């Protein structure tokens, strides 16, 4: 029987888990102090997923970047594909929390949404310099 040792991220406790696997199937999860630990342990060894957070560039905004995240978790193996695609994304202000910045990132079926409001920059000098 194979054993995988993990630190649970399901809650703030950070329990040390031991997941026992036989013939590719989870037999047991030990060390969790709550139900979320058992769920996390099973999922982490069979289909690990993550929420991805990063930033994308903003044109004409009061800030040069806006924080974004995946609307749902994506397969851990697709994180780099997601980041590569987001490096090419630029949005135009205004941006509102929850705005979809990119649909179906890297073919995952998951949208990228803004997690911060960015207003339009008002240029009082007339130079239109938004760099």
Residue 49 CA to residue 72 CA, distance in Å, equals 9
Q: Residue 20, class by beta-carbon neighbours within 10 Å (0-12 exposed, 13-18 middle, 19+ buried)? A: middle
Domain 53-114 in this protein, CATH class: alpha beta
Cα distances from 29 to residues 21, 23, 33, in angstroms, run 9, 15, 11
pLDDT in tens, 5-34: 999 998 899 999 999 999 989 999 999 999
Provide the pLDDT for residue 24: 86
Helix (H/G/I), strand (E/B), else coil: 93 = coil
pLDDT in tens, 40-93: 999 999 999 999 999 999 999 999 999 999 999 999 999 999 999 999 999 999
- Count other C-beta atoms under 10 Å from residue 90's C-beta: 10
| Residue 113 pLDDT class (50, 70, 90 cuts) | very high
Whole-prediction pTM:
0.80
């Amino acid at each position: 029987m194979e054993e995988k040792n993990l630190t649970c991220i399901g809650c703030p406790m950070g329990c040390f888990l031991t997941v026992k696997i036989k013939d590719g199937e989870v037999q047991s999860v030990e060390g969790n102090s709550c139900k979320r630990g058992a769920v996390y342990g099973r999922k982490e060894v069979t289909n690990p997923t993550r929420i991805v957070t990063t930033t994308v560039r903003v044109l004409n905004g009061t800030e040069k970047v806006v924080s974004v995240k995946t609307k749902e978790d994506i397969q851990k193996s697709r994180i780099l594909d997601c980041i590569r695609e987001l490096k090419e994304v630029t949005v135009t202000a205004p941006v509102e929390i929850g705005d979809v910045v990119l649909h179906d990132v890297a073919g995952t079926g998951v949208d990228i949404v803004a997690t911060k409001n960015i207003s339009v920059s008002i240029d009082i000098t007339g130079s239109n310099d938004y760099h």
